Chain A
């Protein structure tokens, strides 16, 4: 299994509070991603990173920010959590090889509930 962990695994918080989710990898992969998964929507990309301090927005980035100061860590921050951000959050890693991205390896997920 790819060495990728997420913390915390479960979190319940209140509307308006800041929340930070952490993704940690031991594979030295260049690319890291944050997705959210909601019923009927599949996996939607929030932000991704293509190197240390290099990040870009995905399709549902409003209300989220990210940081990557080290290759192994990718942080997702909800500045002021809202109930619409209740979801399961997955981190993924991948590497570029030749013609296309290699497969993405997903972390175990974080279940976030915003009350």
Chain B
């Protein structure tokens, strides 16, 4: 089952914040976050393992809520370079392959 990402799209002004959620109906073992710019390959941002660990990448951070089976990606003080499509990839057990969500399109305007 594909994880569900919300919102599907968000438009921000430079400097604004946004949150992207990734929810699963199955218990999660890990969540991966990737960003893809138009016409390019997805690029890895971070991995979170179950346990509520929070990680950061520049001004992008993420959390993992084991009880809710949800991960949230936080875009803080967004920059133009944050524009792109963000994908979460979920792993339901150690050693399982990733299943990706449908993506969230982010557009940061000046």
Contacts and interface: CB of A to CB of B under 8 A. Distances in A.
Q: How large is the interface on B (under 10, 10 to 19, 20 to 34, 35 or more residues)?
A: 20 to 34
Interface string A84-107: 000000100000100111111111
Contacts of B95: 96, 101
A43 interface: yes
Given A43-B42, A90-B42, A103 B99 contact: no
A33 B97 CA distance: 9
B41 A90 contact: yes
B102 A40 contact: yes
Q: Could you tell me the dominant secondary structure of chain A's interface residues?
A: strand
Interface in A51-89: 58-59
What class of interface size applies to chain A in its complex with B?
A: 20 to 34
A101 B99 contact: no
Nearest to A35: B100
16 contacts: A35-B100, A40-B102, A41-B102, A42-B2, A42-B102, A43-B89, A48-B97, A59-B99, A96-B95, A99-B94, A101-B95, A103-B47, A104-B32, A105-B44, A107-B41, A109-B41
Interface of A: 33, 35, 40-45, 48, 58-59, 90, 96, 99-109
